[in-house]
Structure 1
Amino acid sequence: MNRMKIKQIKTNWLYIILIFPTIFAVLALSHFGFFFKSGTAGAGIIILLILYFSKLPKAKDILFLMSAFLFSIVGDWFLSNKSGDANMFVYGIGFYFLAHFGYLIYALQNGRINRIFTAVLLSAFLLFFAFVLYPVIDNHILMFAALVYLVISCLSLGFAVGLQSTGTEKWAYVFGIFLILFSDTIIAFKEFVGYRELDFLILPTYYLAHISIIFSLIRRWLKNN
């Protein structure tokens, strides 16, 4: 079997494993419980372990990405069990902050921040915070947590746009981080403003974000092997 065929088989096999996080997402959307809600991020950790296991001691960027998936799972747990408890919501935001920090460090170690894009994005979201969220959040701790999380989310996307990789590998990662920011923005409207018309997009975009990031890392692995 020539090298070309071996590479094609390897490529097909890697794309097929994306079925697993997709199945978890579908089952989560069908209300099969928290195990499946954490499945896309959990599958991401397992897939990265399979692909990069031999390189993990030196691949700190991959470790940060795996930690981002792990912190996402913990944040999901707090938000899934908040039951109106503001402290649980703050804890959830805290772990999502750590997740975004992991995404940011991954992008930082593979590129640099796109300053113009980040400045425009951050300015827009700070205005959103000042005029939409600030007037309706009366819990000061929650307000501070929301502001800090907003800033790290924008920085995370700004660093993603500055990735040095090209093509599908880069833009799948950018798309994934964008979807997380998009999903979080809808959550902000739901939790703080009471606007619920877009609630149906929160989970599908969040799960698709994880799948898109996993796809980006698969593309990277294929490029380097």
Structure 2
Amino acid sequence: MMKKKFNNKSIYILVIAPVIMAFLALNLSGFVYKSGTAITGIIILLLLYFRNLSKAKDIISLLFAFVFSIVGDWFLSNMRGDVTMFVYGIAFYFLAHLGYLFYALMNGQIKWKFTFVLLVAFLVFFIAVLYPSIDDKVLLMTTLIYLVISCLSLGAAVGIRTNSLTKWTYVFGIFLILFSDTIISLKEFVKYTELNFLILPTYYLAHIFIIFSLISRRLIND
């Protein structure tokens, strides 16, 4: 019964839920709306994979990634200029990236050449742009570590072995998180605000693409 229920392209309609939450988050205030795409991601993953969850460690990793994203969102939404709150936010986003990374590694392996080039590019960005603007040593180290895990997460996503639709929608989702985080770093450390309007749309869109990828995987595996 369960297989028949999900072996139908109509399950793609589930992606409407995070799309609606993203729209509400961009137009209404409130933390529930801001974390809505991650919350709907958790619900959709449980709906699609609950019966096999005990054997699906990769799905559990994604569930934790969404949970940690929500906690990170809370810290950043309530930091009000508090550096400690910002560090905590980055720390939980780091844990979220570990979830994304473990999911990718359990379905493939890191593309090391791509990851090396990506790391070099972002380390140059860190040294040339961010480093001169960060005085707090804890914040500096936290930002550097987060940068590294973000690049590893994307490098692992590129190395996933699955069908093209499932893989590249997931890759694009992780890329959008990295893109959004880069704009946040420019805003917080360099005070460059011209791209601020892209921060939330790309972040919510990242969750939507990751959710779409997992819906696609379930449909194709059935």
Give the TM-score of the pair, scaled to structure 2: 0.97
In 1, Cα distance between equivalents of 2:128 and 2:108: 33
Structure 2, unpaired ranges of 5+ = none
Provide runs of 4+ in structure 1 moved above 2 Å: 6-10
1:11 to 9, 14, 24: 9
Match of 1:154 in 2: 151
Q: How many residues align?
A: 220
2:85 paired residue number: 88
Residue 43 in structure 1 maps to residue 50 in structure 2: no
Question: 2:161 maps to what in 1?
Answer: 164
Matched, 1:208 2:176: no
Q: CA deviation at 1:19?
A: 1.1
1-side partners of 2:32 and 2:25: how far apart? 8
- Bigger RCO (CA 8 Å, 6+ sep): 2
Q: 3-state SS of the aligned residue for 2:161?
A: coil
Computed over aligned residues only, the root mean square deviation of the Cα atoms, in angstroms, reads 1.4
Deviations 1:153-192 (A, max 9, x none): 0000000000001311000000000000000000000000
Where structure 1 has 5 or more consecutive residues not aligned to the other structure, the ranges are none
Alpha-carbon distance in structure 1 between the residues aligned to 2:103 and 2:6: 28
Give secondary structure in 2 for the equivalent of 1:32: coil
What is aligned with 2:96?
Answer: 99
Find the aligned partners of 1:9 and 1:182 in 2 and give their Cα distance.
34
Give the match for residue 181 of structure 2. Answer: 184
Aligned match for 1:112, one of 109, 115, 122: 109
What corresponds to 1:174 in structure 2? 171
Give the distance between the partners of 2:195 and 2:82, measured in 1 at CA.
Answer: 23
**Structure 1-normalised TM-score?**
0.95
2:42 aligns to what SS in structure 1? helix
Matches of residues 40-79 of structure 1 in structure 2 within 5 Å? 40-79=37-76
